[in-house]
Structure 1
Amino acid sequence: MAELRALTFQPVDLDALATAKGRIAVFITPDLKLTAGARRLNRLAKGAIARATTSEAWDKLSEGKVMSLAWPAGLEADTVDLVKLSRRPSQDLARKAGATLAVAAGASELTALVEGTRYPEEIALGLALRGYGFDDHKTKKGDALGLATLMCAKPDEAEAAAAPRLAVAEGVHFTRDLVNEPANVLTTTEFAKRLEALNSLGVEVEVLEEKQLAKLGMGALLCVGQGSDSPSKVVVMRWNGGAKDDAPLALIGKGVVFDTGGISLKPAGGMEDMTMDMGGAGVVAGVMHAIAKRKAKANVVGMVGLVENMPSGNAVRPGDVVTSMKGDTIEVINTDAEGRLVLCDVMWHAQESVKPAAMIDLATLTGACIIALGHENAAVYSNDDPLANAFLKAAETETEGAWRMPLGQAYDDMLKSPVADMKNVGGRPAGSITAAQFLKRFVKEETPWIHLDIAGVAHVKTDLDMSPKGATGWGVRALDRLIADKFEVTD
């Protein structure tokens, strides 16, 4: 789950290597200059490391990859993992090496010698991110990284450097846990309960129930959940780590805990994946967890709209007209274009209630985004170039794919309705763009804003460098980096 109890830093203990259980990892430079720990391991293993690193297979091994030696003589460990990494790798390469090691180690106990290796905190981050597993509903456990000890020359310094990075990893895990949960477990009520638990980290949490939402005029959000037995909610999370009078950054998340499409019912094939349609809310929750855990010196408000989109006798129908909190009327052409109806009310509430310095919304919003960008990049839409550029830089630093997309009047015109102020879809062409254009109508002129369509990156079918298949936690690292770079108070 979210807590990372398995990763510890310790001084190098050469004598303990002979009796270490599970797996021992050692980092070997391409020039084969062995550290003291590597030399000791080589002697204990009767020269096996030297033989392996002078082999043709080692020569062909890419930097950051692992060669495993099973059942080495002279050691109690069942495997020695040789990681090829220069003494001065990039942060990204060190992180990827840690992730590769996590895959090799699995749930085994791991002792990793990182003496003399640059960025041990990034190696630890890679281990933590890729070592995630979700086995809450399995009778046989053991999907996640086991106990991992990183031995280094200055463990206190390495631990201090790793602490904020591992806090972010905990936020990523929190997001993944939420997104991976089945909808019969993660109801709107259970989701709100888990967010209320952020109180323990110092986050102020308020849950707005349906009567309060109706009083606020959130007709767009409420129409989405009116066909479900699960009550619609808005959860407001406040982290006040910055200057008292500084306006906060507002993060807005779509939290559709299950999306059948409503009356505009989705095809049966693949509908089980719609447990991840609350991915935007999951990312907002993960960011709030991360910044609270590392005690970020910033003011951030996270708001998530939690609903379930179900068909029933009470469900909203195609052709219905609803009124948003802003007061604009919306003709619901397609009940499966529900996420924007949730977001528009929460976005308006955020601007009215906290007057944010900037606002970023996240949603698994459109299949059109996946058609455009696949599973490599999230779509980025913005009304503010400096904010958009700052986010794109943060995403690049954290190696989370993001690509800026256009907005424009021609796309906005596609939302015209003959019976209301707008309709909720603009047709098949440019579906991700018209969805963003719809949301832009609910952004005040003075509010810098980004919309992130994360439909393709929130949940994937194949393993990635930093995450196993399933929920990725995409966006937690990039948004945390953006907050650190742009919104934190400097001493």
Structure 2
Amino acid sequence: MFPIRLTDRLDDGLTRVVPIGSSGPLSHVDGALGDEIAALGDRPDPLIVLRRPLSRPAKVLLADVRPGWRAAGAAIVRQAGDEPLQILVDEDVRDLAEGLWLGGYRYRDAREEPRTAPIDLVTTRPEVYARSLAQAQIAARATWLARDLTNTPSNLKIPDWFAEEISGASARRPGVEVRVHAGPGIERFGGLRAVGGGSKWRPCMVEMTWRPPGATTHVVLVGKGITFDSGGLSVKTREGMKRMKNDMAGAAAVAAATLAAADLGLRVRITALMPLAENAMSGSAFRPGDVITQYDGSTTETTNSDAEGRLVLADALGYAVEGLDPDVIVDLATLTGSQKVALGPEISALFTENDELAGALRAAGERAGEKMWRMPLPAEYRDLLRSDVADRHSSPTGGPGAVVAALFLRDFLGPYANRWAHVDMAAPAWSDTEEPATRRGATGWGTRTLLRYLSALDGGQ
């Protein structure tokens, strides 16, 4: 990550960025420059370049912060390329710095050169914002990790590779432990074994734990980890399949958020569960109509092999309920196409019966710049999952797909149903366009929301 520094000194040799639309004082703006800004009037441009060849600094960027400091930061870093900058700021340092780092993200194996030039945040109170800058860096670094994991091509990103990456990252953080369940260790994980059975790469489940002293709340995070989804025997279309390296974005987000929580020293116990498999086609692939036994001993008729994510999540949820005794369970998954149909490309679907948990997650999402909309869990739709040969079937024909998938998962919570939230992030996990704080490709969606939520449990924001 390129360096961002706090300072109270201006350097006339660097490009200066002046925010407009800010309510805070900008004591470093000289009178002549202030007159030029005022003469512009109400300009909608996110970034305006003022070139002043006969005065210093020689170049001034005006950044409109009214849409938000995070979006402004992303616009600034893209406009500037790799030139050093000094940005005048007297508020919202965390959001601005997050935007700068998020907008400056480059996939680690891409051909485009990453930014290296430093950025100075010029403020009259650098000591006040030191903690905010540190928080921003940890959140942005976690989002970069989630994006890197998701952007990695699936010929590299087999389940064992993902497990090794997470194990390596955890080893650098005292207090974080990783256990990989594989082979005989997933004998009871019938959904995970079925989904991974068609691939030559073995499925596994990564269990990461953070147990800080003094923690009084135990949160279990579950992330769907399908490293590539062909649809199995219910094969996807070409268009539907080409981005399916991102079907493990939920696992990437919960892993990155847990590591970031450890970096922040949050006094919240976290167990992150990441069931990992490749959904492939072969003679050993599971079939529509098969009946599998899930971790909790119940049975599922697999009516569509492209509804595989709920099968692996169900096993992880059953594992959490049986042996972890959590206070809260939150799962993130790129689960259904109907989430995008209902809410579009930028808003995830939130399902929970717990009003307090819904409010806390939505508030965390707002602070992180990641939107969610709460959806219903109507009991009468449970009949859509009725099977004649098993306790349930995995995917009905017709009906509200995202809602029914959430109801399927709810079946595995038992007495913990009122402690659980499910987030369907199928569309927001990937972007086909350049958005304010994302680039084309994986967005790392959910990483910062989870981190803000966990921080709030520890009394912070």
- Shorter-chain TM band: over 0.9
Question: Is 2:5 aligned against 1:8?
Answer: yes
How far apart are 1:236 and its partner, in Å?
0.7
Distance 1:267 1:160, change over 3 A: same
- Equivalent residues of 2:2, 2:117 under 8 A apart: no
How far apart are 1:343 and its partner, in Å?
0.2
- Equivalent residues of 1:169, 1:290 under 8 A apart: no
Distance 1:413 1:146, change over 3 A: farther
**1:369 alignment partner in structure 2:** 339
- Equivalent residues of 1:102, 1:145 under 8 A apart: no
Q: Deviations over 1:429-474 (max 9, x none)?
A: 2011111111000002235100110001111212222212221222
Q: Classify the secondary structure of the residue corresponding to 1:252.
A: strand
Q: Counterparts of 2:22 and 2:357 in 1: how far apart (Å)? A: 41
Distance 1:30 1:401, change over 3 A: closer
Q: Counterparts of 1:250 and 1:354 in 2: how far apart (Å)? A: 8
Q: Counterparts of 2:353 and 2:64 in 1: how far apart (Å)? A: 44
Q: Identify which range, 254-263 or 471-480, moves more after superposition.
A: 471-480
Q: Classify the secondary structure of the residue corresponding to 1:445.
A: helix
Question: Is 2:392 aligned against 1:419?
Answer: no
Q: Classify the secondary structure of the residue corresponding to 1:318.
A: coil
Q: Classify the secondary structure of the residue corresponding to 1:433.
A: helix
Q: Classify the secondary structure of the residue corresponding to 1:340.
A: helix
**1:98 alignment partner in structure 2:** 73
RMSD across aligned positions (CA): 2.4
Q: Deviations over 1:101-126 (max 9, x none)?
A: 22222333222233xx2223332222
2:400 to 406, 423, 430: 430
Q: Counterparts of 1:29 and 1:326 in 2: how far apart (Å)? A: 55
Distance 1:362 1:34, change over 3 A: closer
Q: Counterparts of 1:210 and 1:346 in 2: how far apart (Å)? A: 16
Q: Specify the code of the residue in structure 2 equivalent to 1:346.
A: A
Q: Classify the secondary structure of the residue corresponding to 2:222.
A: strand
How far apart are 1:137 and its partner, in Å?
3.2
1:59 to 22, 30, 41: 41
Calculate the TM-score normalised by the size of structure 1. Answer: 0.87
**1:345 alignment partner in structure 2:** 315
Question: Is 2:25 aligned against 1:25?
Answer: no
Q: Counterparts of 2:284 and 2:386 in 1: how far apart (Å)? A: 27
How far apart are 1:133 and its partner, in Å?
2.0
Q: Specify the code of the residue in structure 2 equivalent to 1:174.
A: L
1:199 to 165, 171, 174: 171
Calculate the TM-score normalised by the size of structure 2. Answer: 0.92
How far apart are 1:74 and its partner, in Å?
4.8
**1:212 alignment partner in structure 2:** 185
1:261 to 224, 227, 231: 231
State, as a whole percentage, how many aligned pairs show the same letter.
Answer: 33
- Equivalent residues of 1:174, 1:285 under 8 A apart: no
Distance 1:76 1:135, change over 3 A: farther
Distance 1:195 1:135, change over 3 A: closer
2:245 to 263, 271, 275: 275
Q: Classify the secondary structure of the residue corresponding to 1:288.
A: helix
Q: Counterparts of 2:378 and 2:116 in 1: how far apart (Å)? A: 47
Q: Counterparts of 1:282 and 1:173 in 2: how far apart (Å)? A: 10
Distance 1:121 1:395, change over 3 A: closer
Q: Deviations over 1:283-337 (max 9, x none)?
A: 1012112211111111111110110000011111111111001111111111000
Q: Classify the secondary structure of the residue corresponding to 1:179.
A: helix
Question: Unpaired segments of 5 or more residues in structure 1?
Answer: none
Spell out the pairing of 1:314-353 with structure 2 (5 A cutoff): 314-353=284-323
- Equivalent residues of 1:254, 1:364 under 8 A apart: yes
Distance 1:233 1:154, change over 3 A: same
Distance 1:33 1:174, change over 3 A: closer
**2:458 alignment partner in structure 1:** 488
- Equivalent residues of 2:199, 2:278 under 8 A apart: yes
Q: Counterparts of 1:81 and 1:98 in 2: how far apart (Å)? A: 12
- Equivalent residues of 1:242, 1:489 under 8 A apart: no
Spell out the pairing of 1:53-452 with structure 2 (5 A cutoff): 53-55=37-39, 58-62=40-44, 65-70=46-51, 72-74=53-55, 79-84=59-64, 93-114=68-89, 117-138=90-111, 140-142=112-114, 144=115, 146-196=117-167, 197-202=169-174, 203-214=176-187, 217-241=188-212, 243=214, 246-447=216-417, 448-452=419-423
Q: Deviations over 1:338-371 (max 9, x none)?
A: 0000100011111222111110111000011111
- Equivalent residues of 1:28, 1:34 under 8 A apart: no
Q: Counterparts of 1:71 and 1:285 in 2: how far apart (Å)? A: 47
- Equivalent residues of 1:368, 1:431 under 8 A apart: yes
How far apart are 1:230 and its partner, in Å?
1.2
Q: Counterparts of 2:279 and 2:3 in 1: how far apart (Å)? A: 38
- Equivalent residues of 2:26, 2:88 under 8 A apart: no
Q: How many residue pairs are counted as aligned between the two chains?
A: 457
**2:441 alignment partner in structure 1:** 470
Distance 1:66 1:129, change over 3 A: same
